[in-house]
Structure 1
Amino acid sequence: MAKQQKSELRETLSTIFWAVIIALVLRTFLFQPFHIPSGSMLPNLMKGDYIITSKYSVGYGRFAAAPLPFPSGDGRFLEREPERGDVLVFRPDGDDKNFIKRLIGLPGDTVQMQDGRLILNGEQVQLTKQGEESFADRYGDDVLAELWAETFPNGNTHLVYDSQKNSPSDNSSGYRIPEGHYFLMGDNRDNSGDSRVPVRNGGAGMVPAENIIGRAEIVLLSVKEDFVLYKPWTWGNMRGGRFFERIK
């Protein structure tokens, strides 16, 4: 009887061990979930969204297996160049937090903001007004924003918010993107600490290629602030219509 119990225990421990190994491999090389903590990517991503990123789509940088270092060297192992307009998860240099923003500038590009309009390589990016929407800012106050469709030269189109005229982020000097780096911005343009803001001031700065973690693919589910997984009576606070929604 004792031998049978020991055999069952070994089998259980072996199953748990291999399950953990498989989960770590999947998380490192294929997919990783992330939680959206703010509204900097509105109107496309909401605070409370749980997203899935793909890692094979961009290659494997030094944070692919975080908190363990990934031996990628400079750049990314099996590196694939992301496209302008991709939504990427990354970690700024000198910061231990993950950011999620949209890829705006590739190595060698120049990026500038003029009167709240994005200037890419000397040309204003195409904008088409879609109307107005309101959203709750970080203080819970309702803010009215202009909704615009922004189309990059490669044809990728996404929605952006313009919620404040003549904001500090509406105008900037030109940024020249160095080799091996990327320039990323939030879609909620007046409420995003991104590559327009140095890391020392809470922004992302220029993002090294090896700091990219993955490309955001889908919203798995979305919850409101009063949702708690281990409290079933709060499960009604999931947002309907945001299950398995593709990220554009």
Structure 2
Amino acid sequence: MKLDKDFFSDNIKTLFYALIIAIIIRSFLIQPFYIPSSSMEPTLVVGDRLFVTKYSYGYSKHSLPFSPAILNKRILFKNPKRGDVIVFKTPADNRTDYIKRLIGLPGDRIQFIDANLYLNSNEIFKSKIKSKTKIYCGNTSIDVYRFEEKLPNGKKFHTVYLKDYTYQNSDEFIVPKDHYFFLGDNRDCSKDSRFLSSVGYVHKDNLVGKAQFIFFSSDKKIGSIFAFWKWHKSIRFNRSFSKIN
């Protein structure tokens, strides 16, 4: 069978258009992310794959691949809500993607006192769910208390704290204008806005999008996704297609 030039030309055009469509979807609508660390346990665990909506808070240069200097400010901006789980570029390099929970809005005052979280001088209510549970901090299994926390806007979610509450007290954090304060749900195993030299306050232009739902999850400690004979153990079917709270 002889192939003419039109065959190759048509296929190249198809691939080109498909690439353009994929870039548009990834840049302006929805983008997949993989969770590589345990800082957001129990909400997100290592091996979760999730979709993040790019339009939730408008668009900045960080909405685009490689963060090109096309937009000098965020456009079509929508205010994020306290308690949202958000992907953002770290202020340290404006390149690395982090995912954390939004706790502090511009002007808020945040402080840890005796291992309790205070927002604008009011203690964030938390009720203990489990006195003994195990999660991961890196590759280490740790014993934690599990709580349900409730923010002033009524948002509820689960957090975990080490039993000896390693993060006891802090200075007061005052969130600057146009910035946000983030915490990991795994409170004693998260590099977040408490660490000003590495993460600190996050500018609104650094927001990438809102985490919406987990579309797939697997435990690589059990086996590779290519080891199909272990799928019944490695794939977390109970987490797939679950909404992120």
TM-score range for the pair, normalised by the shorter chain length: over 0.9
Give the AA of the match of 2:174. Answer: R
Q: Aligned partners of 1:98 and 1:27: how far apart in 2?
A: 15
**How far apart are residue 93 of structure 1 and its match?**
1.4
* Alignment check: 8 A CA contact 1:170 1:190 kept: no
- The aligned counterpart of 1:204 is 199
Contact 1:87–1:103 (8 Å) recurs in 2 = yes
2:81 equivalent to 1:83:
yes
Measured after TM superposition, the shift of residue 163 of structure 1 is: 1.2
- Relative to structure 1, the CA distance from residue 14 to residue 230 in structure 2 (aligned partners, 3 Å threshold; closer, same or farther) is farther
Please state how far the C-alpha of 1:35 moved relative to its aligned partner.
Answer: 0.7
CA contact (8 A) 2:218 2:225 kept: no
8 A contact 2:82–2:105 mirrored in 1:
yes
Cα distance in 2 for partners of 1:170, 1:58 equals 33
Q: Secondary structure, in 3 states, of the residue corresponding to 2:38?
A: coil
Equivalent position of 1:228 in the other structure: 224
In structure 2, stretches of 5+ residues that fail to align are none
Greater Cα shift, 25-34 or 225-234: 225-234
Q: Percent identity?
A: 36
Q: Distance in 2 between matches of 1:42 and 1:106?
A: 23
Give the whole-Å Cα distance in 2 for the aligned partners of 1:127 and 1:166: 14
| Residue 235 of structure 1: how far off its partner (Å) | 3.9
Name which of structure 1's ranges 224-233 and 35-44 shifts more when overlaid on structure 2.
Answer: 224-233
Q: Work out whether residues 61 and 72 of structure 1, in 8 Å CA contact, stay in contact via their aligned partners in 2.
A: yes
Cα displacement string for residues 180-229 of structure 1 (whole angstroms, at most 9, x for unaligned residues): 10000000100000000123xxx411101100101000011111124434
For this pair of structures, how many residues does the alignment match? 241
Q: Distance in 1 between matches of 2:236 and 2:96?
A: 26
TM-score, length-scaled by structure 2: 0.92
Aligned partner of 1:122 in structure 2 is: 121
Partner AA of 2:219 in structure 1: K
Contact 1:193 1:204 in 2 (8 A): yes
CA distance in 1 between counterparts of 2:130 and 2:87 reads 29
User: CA distance change for structure 1 residues 35 and 89 in 2, over 3 Å: closer, same or farther?
Assistant: same
Q: Which moved more, 1:219-228 or 1:45-54?
A: 219-228
Secondary structure of the corresponding residue to residue 29 of structure 1: helix
Does structure 1 conserve the Cα–Cα contact (< 8 Å) formed by 2:92 and 2:199?
no
The answer for the alignment partner of 1:140 in structure 2 is: 140
Number of the residue aligned with 2:176: 178
* Contact 1:64-1:70 at 8 Å conserved across structures: no
Mapped to 2, the partners of 1:245 and 1:222 lie a distance apart of 10
Q: Which runs of 5+ in 1 are unaligned?
A: none
